[in-house]
Amino acid sequence: MLRRSLFAAPALLALPARAQTAFPERPINVIVGFLAGGSTDIAARLLIDRMAPQLGPNARMVIDNRAGAGGSIGAEFLTRQAPDGYNIGVLSASSQGTNPAALPDTVRYDAVEDFSHIAILGGGPMLIIVPGSSPHRTLADLVNAAKASATSPLWASSGVGGIGHLTGSLFAHRAGFRAEYVPYRGGSAVLEAMRKAEVDFSAEVLASAYPHVRDGSSRPLAVSSLTRHPLLPEVPTMQECGFNGFDVVTWNLVQGPKNIPALILARLNKAAMDALAEPALRRRLADAGVDPAEPSTPESTRAFAASELEKFKSIVRETGLVMGRG
């Protein structure tokens, strides 16, 4: 049950009572900081398809893709919107975790304090992938080739400072080779580059990469979680490949600009929770590579966001990674 004392009184007075009880009276804009077809976009579209009906028979939710900077462009845009519930976002571990941790001087928002926290959607592991035409069949093949090559291999992710950038940089750092980083504006763009073999490897979100793995245009060498994933049970973990304790997973949160009134925040949370309780939606998310989250509240979502941010800051400190380099 929500505790209203956690929300400032001015937020409760920001909208007339009727506007809060009648919400929503117009379409809700849902910001996604990546191109259509990426993992966050996939998760967002699956969620709103079932979340909108929970808000009312005529409720509409519309995706607004604002890609760039590992999702931070969309997140920053969201912070500038009115806190009336009509602009929310499905935001990612990149924009709310790795970017603020690795690029604190360039991210112009506080990933915890500048947002209203609605719900945890879900998440999943990263994949270390190579093009389908690559000769590398194992992670050891890739590492050995990178160390033996006179030139640095090219690798890609969906934006400087994002979850893919952190994962790939951590992999190269611990493996002991240098690689030249090529940033793209979204997971779909990275995977198209993989299809064309324009880069040698990538660290990509499972939900984005899975269709390309199935069609053979990308080949997975390892998953970044501590356990294998049911969609790809034959793919070993990074730990199984010799990277002890390697555990990086991505996630998506439903958030809005700070100071959304408590009544509207509660409506949005309930709609998200009712949608995520539907077995059909949970199956669709899982089939797409997004492990659906357990029930969450605005309070638990905020606590999760804060703890994950600290975890990513710890990774950056421990490895001495300088994002923006390969």
Quick one: which of 284, 49, 251 has its CA closest to 162?
251
Per-residue pLDDT, averaged over 208-221, amounts to: 94
Check whether 322 has a pLDDT greater than 80: no
For the chain, first and last CA: distance in Å? 46
Q: Which residue has the tokens 């969609």?
A: 231
Report the pLDDT value the prediction gives residue 195, as an integer from 0 to 100: 93
pLDDT tens digits along 162-214: 888 889 989 998 999 999 999 887 778 888 999 999 999 999 989 889 999 99
**Which 8-state DSSP code applies to residue 225?**
S
pLDDT tens digits along 300-317: 999 999 999 999 998 888
CA distance 268 to 148: 53
Report the pLDDT value the prediction gives residue 158, as an integer from 0 to 100: 77
DSSP H or E stretch at residue 10: helix 9-12
272: tokens are 């998200």
CATH number attached to the domain at 4-123+250-319: 3.40.190.150
Q: Judge if 4-123+250-319 and 125-223 fold alike in CATH terms.
A: yes
Check whether 16 has a pLDDT greater than 60: no
Report the pLDDT value the prediction gives residue 326, as an integer from 0 to 100: 43
Report the pLDDT value the prediction gives residue 34, as an integer from 0 to 100: 87
Report the pLDDT value the prediction gives residue 282, as an integer from 0 to 100: 97
Domain spans of the chain, in order of start: 4-123+250-319, 125-223
Report the pLDDT value the prediction gives residue 323, as an integer from 0 to 100: 52
Average pLDDT, the chain: 90
Check whether 109 has a pLDDT greater than 80: yes
Check whether 79 has a pLDDT greater than 60: yes
Fold of the domain built from segment(s) 125-223: D-Maltodextrin-Binding Protein; domain 2 (3.40.190)
Per-residue pLDDT, averaged over 129-155, amounts to: 96
156 residue type, one letter: A
23: tokens are 């919400």
Report the pLDDT value the prediction gives residue 187, as an integer from 0 to 100: 78
pLDDT tens digits along 278-304: 999 999 999 888 999 999 999 999 999
**Lowest pLDDT segment from 24-38, 157-171, 196-210, 225-239:** 157-171
How sure is the predictor about 4, in pLDDT bands with cuts at 50, 70 and 90?
very low
pLDDT tens digits along 240-281: 999 999 999 999 999 999 999 999 999 999 999 999 999 999
Check whether 7 has a pLDDT greater than 80: no
**Which 8-state DSSP code applies to residue 237?**
B
Q: Is 260 exposed, middle or buried (0-12, 13-18, 19+ CB in 10 A)?
A: buried
Cα Rg of the chain (Å, integer): 20
**Signed CA dihedral, 188, 141, 165, 309: sign only:** positive
Check whether 19 has a pLDDT greater than 60: no
Report the pLDDT value the prediction gives residue 9, as an integer from 0 to 100: 36
